[in-house]
Structure 1
Amino acid sequence: MNPMDRLRDARPAHLGGTGIDERTRAAELAYAMGRPREVTARRRWTRPVLGLALTGAAAAATAVALITQGATAPAQGPALAIPAPGSSSGAPATTPIELSASAVLLAAAEQADRQPDTTKAYWHTATVTRGLMTVDGGYTFVDQGRSESWTPSAAGGRTWSRTRFLGAKPATPDDEAAWRAAGAPEELRVKVPGKKAELILPTRPGKERVESYPPADGDKVFWLGRNVSMKDIRGLPSDPAKLKAWLLRSYAGHGTESSDTPMSSDEWLFTVASGLITDMPVTSATRGAAFRMLSALKSIEVQHDVTDAEGRTGTAVGIEQKSHVRDGSAPDGVLRARLIFDESTGQALGTDNVVVRPGGYQADLDPGTIWHSVTVLNAGWTDTRPSS
């Protein structure tokens, strides 16, 4: 199969963009092909290490929580307890107040505005990506990999990446017991809806890979509805209405990856703005504007006390999106795309996708399952990069 077709088909609609140049597509392919390699009659894809090069649609996707099957996510998080007048913070006399998504996002915007705003030679991010796979035998595994990216702040520099596939592991103790009962195979076969060929999912970690490549078109280093330069990113509006207008210039009524899947402007803005907030080197004022822009979207829901894969607790805001298989071999499903962040700082912890209605590529997963996630371990400026 053509690798580009595989990339477009295998990735959910919220993880990418259309009209991406071939160099950016190649960077995305390193990310998407970190998924299991495909088996052909007597030949297999050489399995690249999972890589999240933040110079393309993959940047719009970065985030999230440990994937566990059957962990039901409530539609609304627990109430935030505000101490009643005259009571101590630990006293039982509290008045529970259910904060709206809008209020939570506006509070995060205030915190984002206060963060330091300096630049150095490179914008550095480190993430761990996890995806849920149902393998032959009926048990479920987590496919996982770590990646880092160093994007130059000055025009003419080169982007660096360091990636490593971490090996697949059973999602639950029951899955591990089933896998061991089957002889604990080191390679697992995975069937993908709409595909005749199978994928192979290794359980052993891969080797670390360090790569370097020049910007697309001389200066394009990120994807934000379209390919953009570091200058574009740093010059984004700090006014939420102007930022929304800037982003919507790239909206064409469909998903960020596939033109076959209709997507509302709210869904599209949430997808793109989540990437902006999560791991792009925007100014503090622009990040605050992105939170304020999202606060005005009526379809956003909030959940408190969400734990990510690193054990960090944060707040999640999310929006429902369709899960669609292009050839119609599985009924459409519904996912909730979530942005998880620390309310005290406005810093993103990651993103994830929770199954709301099984279907599409998640047809065999239970509602509440976290199907895909990206946890952000680091996002900030540095003067160092990997050695060649």
Structure 2
Amino acid sequence: MRSTLALTVAAGLIFAGAGAAPASADAPEGAYWRVETIFTTTHPHAVGSGYYLTQRRISTEWLSPEGKSWNGFRELGAKPATGKDEAAWRADGSPTTWDYRTEGMKIHLSTKPDKGSIAAAKGRPDGFRLGEKFVTFQQLQSLPTDVEALRTYLAADVNAWIDKSAEEAKTTAPKSTKNDWLVNFDRYVAEWATQLLYANPAPDKVRAAAYQVLKTTKGVSDLGRAEDPLGRSGQKLVLPVASSKGTLLKQQLLVDTKTMTLLAEYTDLKDGGKAVLGKSGVQTFKAGWTDDKPAVPGVS
């Protein structure tokens, strides 16, 4: 998930061009493929007399069938994270803004949403991202629709990325080995399958196959039906745990099994056993075709 932490951790997956039987191409159903992501997390620094805030931010990407991209962003405001934090906030006089400096940067927080922004993506090739390569709409339509064929396709791409990454790492980390990546191999396959559930306009049959790849990947478990923070129902799956140099990443995904689209992602990142605030949290997704032009995200 490019907007998810999982794909940040697993960044670098590249399109290996494995052979595949073409899917039945779905024609674009709108002017843009739109992905809205709302991320809710606990701000990493205590404010005021020592209480913590929950932050919400929205990011939206518009992709045209030609692969042009626009990105919108907006801070949705902050509020005390827990009942205890709210009591401390009230004792401080219920401030509506907070300012502090950290690592030479000035941080400003507010209970009110900011004005947001919208801009065409810069420095980005035209196309739809698959791992670290951009492909055309037609190439996206030609992905395998058979579950095992798609699994083989994704696994080949993951292996190609691991080979390249392990070789490149020798210049900065001579003691690193290919096993440093292989330990999380199944997770990488699951993550890329998840990407096909929302990040780009894959055909319906490809999404259905991607869900089955995800669900049956080694280390993935099924928690049954659940609801996301927006009250939407889906199937909750747990990804294989990822670990590297003291960090531990646990994630759960909620998938709408009628539309085969990702609804939410729950992230629990720990470093040395301590939760990494600001990166742990929950993201909700809304993905689909639209004719609405790129605009500053609204207040949700």
Pair 1:130 & 2:40 matched: yes
Tell me the CA shift for residue 299 of structure 1: 0.8
Cα distance, 1:345–1:122 mapped onto 2, change above 3 Å: closer
Determine which of 251, 264, 268 is the counterpart of 1:350: 264
- After superposition, the C-alpha distances for 1:9-40 in whole angstroms (9 at most, x for unaligned) are xx95643554599xxxxxxxxxxxxxxxxxxx
Pair 1:385 & 2:296 matched: no
**Cα distance between partner residues in 1 of 2:55 and 2:243:** 19
**Cα distance between partner residues in 1 of 2:199 and 2:109:** 28
Pair 1:173 & 2:166 matched: no
User: Does structure 1 conserve the Cα–Cα contact (< 8 Å) formed by 2:12 and 2:131?
Assistant: no
- After superposition, the C-alpha distances for 1:34-68 in whole angstroms (9 at most, x for unaligned) are xxxxxxxxxxxxxxxxxxxxxxxxxxxxxxxxxxx
- % same residue: 24
Q: Is 239-248 or 259-268 further displaced after alignment? A: 259-268
User: Does structure 1 conserve the Cα–Cα contact (< 8 Å) formed by 2:13 and 2:157?
Assistant: no
Cα distance, 1:198–1:336 mapped onto 2, change above 3 Å: same
Secondary structure of 1:386's counterpart equals coil
Tell me the CA shift for residue 381 of structure 1: 1.5
Q: In the alignment, what sits opposite 1:374?
A: 283
Tell me the CA shift for residue 317 of structure 1: 0.5
Cα distance, 1:235–1:361 mapped onto 2, change above 3 Å: farther
Pair 1:282 & 2:202 matched: yes
Cα distance, 1:247–1:343 mapped onto 2, change above 3 Å: closer
Q: In the alignment, what sits opposite 1:228?
A: 135
- After superposition, the C-alpha distances for 1:309-334 in whole angstroms (9 at most, x for unaligned) are 2122322101243365xxx7xxx243
Q: Give 2:119's aligned amino acid.
A: E
User: Does structure 2 conserve the Cα–Cα contact (< 8 Å) formed by 1:224 and 1:276?
Assistant: no
Determine which of 106, 118, 126 is the counterpart of 1:210: 118
Q: In the alignment, what sits opposite 1:322?
A: 242
Q: In the alignment, what sits opposite 2:173?
A: none
Greater strand content: 2
Q: How does 1:61-76 map to 2 (within 5 A)?
A: none
Tell me the CA shift for residue 198 of structure 1: 7.0
Q: In the alignment, what sits opposite 2:57?
A: 145
Q: In the alignment, what sits opposite 2:69?
A: 159
Q: Give 1:318's aligned amino acid.
A: V
Cα distance, 1:209–1:124 mapped onto 2, change above 3 Å: same
Q: Give 2:42's aligned amino acid.
A: L
Q: Give 2:62's aligned amino acid.
A: W
Pair 1:360 & 2:271 matched: yes
User: Does structure 1 conserve the Cα–Cα contact (< 8 Å) formed by 2:228 and 2:263?
Assistant: yes
Q: How does 1:1-388 map to 2 (within 5 A)?
A: 12=5, 14-15=7-8, 18=11, 119-136=29-46, 138-154=50-66, 158-185=68-95, 186-187=97-98, 200=107, 202-203=109-110, 204-213=112-121, 216-217=124-125, 219-251=126-158, 252-253=161-162, 262=181, 263-322=183-242, 332-354=246-268, 359-360=270-271, 363-364=274-275, 371-376=280-285, 378-386=286-294
Cα distance, 1:20–1:289 mapped onto 2, change above 3 Å: closer
Tell me the CA shift for residue 293 of structure 1: 1.4
Tell me the CA shift for residue 138 of structure 1: 4.9
**Cα distance between partner residues in 2 of 1:239 and 1:143:** 41
> TM (normalized to structure 1)?
0.57
- Structure 2 portions without partners, runs of 5+: 15-22, 170-175
Cα distance, 1:174–1:224 mapped onto 2, change above 3 Å: same
Cα distance, 1:236–1:361 mapped onto 2, change above 3 Å: farther
> TM (normalized to structure 2)?
0.72
User: Does structure 2 conserve the Cα–Cα contact (< 8 Å) formed by 1:159 and 1:215?
Assistant: no
User: Does structure 1 conserve the Cα–Cα contact (< 8 Å) formed by 2:5 and 2:267?
Assistant: no
Secondary structure of 1:168's counterpart equals strand
**Cα distance between partner residues in 2 of 1:248 and 1:146:** 32
Secondary structure of 1:278's counterpart equals coil
Q: In the alignment, what sits opposite 1:107?
A: none
Cα distance, 1:164–1:20 mapped onto 2, change above 3 Å: farther
Tell me the CA shift for residue 223 of structure 1: 4.0
**Cα distance between partner residues in 1 of 2:52 and 2:130:** 32
User: Does structure 2 conserve the Cα–Cα contact (< 8 Å) formed by 1:318 and 1:339?
Assistant: yes
Runs (4+) of structure 1 exceeding 6 A deviation are none
- After superposition, the C-alpha distances for 1:131-184 in whole angstroms (9 at most, x for unaligned) are 2234235533222111222201136xx322322111222222222222333444
Secondary structure of 2:196's counterpart equals helix
Q: Give 1:353's aligned amino acid.
A: T
Cα distance, 1:373–1:364 mapped onto 2, change above 3 Å: closer
Cα distance, 1:223–1:210 mapped onto 2, change above 3 Å: same
Q: In the alignment, what sits opposite 1:106?
A: none
